[in-house]
């Protein structure tokens, strides 16, 4: 017997040769391996020069690949760091598996919150998983958590059981706070000369851009007809 994967008489075939009595039957059962190998032929031959032979084909299905959402990833305050998106197979593959991956923004903004990517992920033979790395860009702005979309396509030596997953960038910045210095104005002085210092807690971003923020100034004892200016 020669060729690929097979069993004989319902059990594992452990030798390439054997003997049969005249009139006996040989039962050959095709079995699939646990590893993806496409199709393989097994050939059983009885006799030599005038013998008979039969060919059996064994086909194993390719692995299935899926992408899953990772835990929420902390954004960081500067530079970039890598969030790992897990892609897994349902079992080991005997051959390399390749799949294209695309990372785009849902509520996250490409180039601001993360770097978009189009790449090909390789899962080596014998492995069951690999990661899609995504560069996450840190900042110090208070924002909502934001979402990315990871999409798999064009698998090689595998099929896709789950091609889409979302990932969350967890905002780790506190909301800005507003503070004012105490202000005392003596009765009878020129009120228009009084100055009030207002401080915003959000630090300026590294690129020197202004940090947008909204705040409210409340006057405890407003005077009718008086104009208050906030710069």
Binding site for Ca ion (CB under 5 A): 75, 77, 113, 139, 141, 143, 171-173
Give the DSSP per-residue string, 145-170: -EEEEEEEEEEESEEEEE-EEEEEEE
**Least distance (Å) between residue 133 CB and Ca ion:** 18
**Least distance (Å) between residue 76 CB and Ca ion:** 6
Contacts of 191 (CB under 8 A, 6+ apart): 185, 223, 226
Nearer to Ca ion, 184 or 210 (CB): 210
Cα angle: 193, vertex 199, 205; to 5 degrees: 135
**Least distance (Å) between residue 168 CB and Ca ion:** 12
Nearer to Ca ion, 1 or 148 (CB): 148
Nearer to Ca ion, 102 or 141 (CB): 141
The two structure tokens encoding residue 129: 């998983």
**Least distance (Å) between residue 108 CB and Ca ion:** 7
**Least distance (Å) between residue 180 CB and Ca ion:** 25
* CA 192, chain centre distance (Å): 59
Nearer to Ca ion, 96 or 171 (CB): 171
Q: Measuring CA to CA, how many Å separate 169 from each of 10, 70, 91, 92, 125?
A: 54, 10, 30, 31, 32
Nearer to Ca ion, 135 or 143 (CB): 143
Nearer to Ca ion, 96 or 143 (CB): 143
**Least distance (Å) between residue 170 CB and Ca ion:** 9
């Amino acid at each position: 017997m020669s060729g690929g994967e097979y069993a004989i008489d319902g059990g594992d075939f452990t030798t390439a040769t054997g003997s049969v009595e005249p009139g006996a039957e040989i039962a050959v059962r095709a079995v699939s391996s646990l590893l993806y190998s496409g199709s393989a032929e097994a050939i059983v031959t009885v006799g030599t020069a005038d013998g008979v032979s039969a060919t059996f084909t064994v086909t194993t299905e390719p692995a299935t690949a899926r992408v899953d959402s990772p835990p929420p990833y902390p954004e960081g305050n500067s530079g970039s760091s890598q969030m790992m998106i897990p892609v897994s197979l349902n079992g080991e593959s005997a051959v390399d598996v390749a799949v294209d991956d695309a990372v785009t923004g849902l509520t996250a903004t490409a180039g601001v919150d993360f770097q978009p990517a189009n790449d090909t992920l390789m899962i080596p033979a014998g492995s069951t998983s690999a990661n899609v790395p995504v560069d996450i860009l840190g900042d110090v702005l208070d924002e909502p958590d934001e979402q990315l979309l990871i999409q798999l396509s064009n698998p090689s030596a595998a099929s896709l059981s789950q091609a889409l997953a979302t990932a969350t960038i967890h905002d780790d910045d506190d909301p800005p706070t507003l503070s004012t210095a105490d202000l005392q104005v003596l009765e009878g002085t020129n009120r228009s000369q009084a100055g009030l210092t207002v401080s915003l807690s959000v630090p300026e971003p590294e690129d020197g851009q202004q940090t947008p923020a909204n705040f409210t100034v409340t006057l405890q004892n407003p005077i009718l007809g008086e104009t208050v200016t906030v710069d």
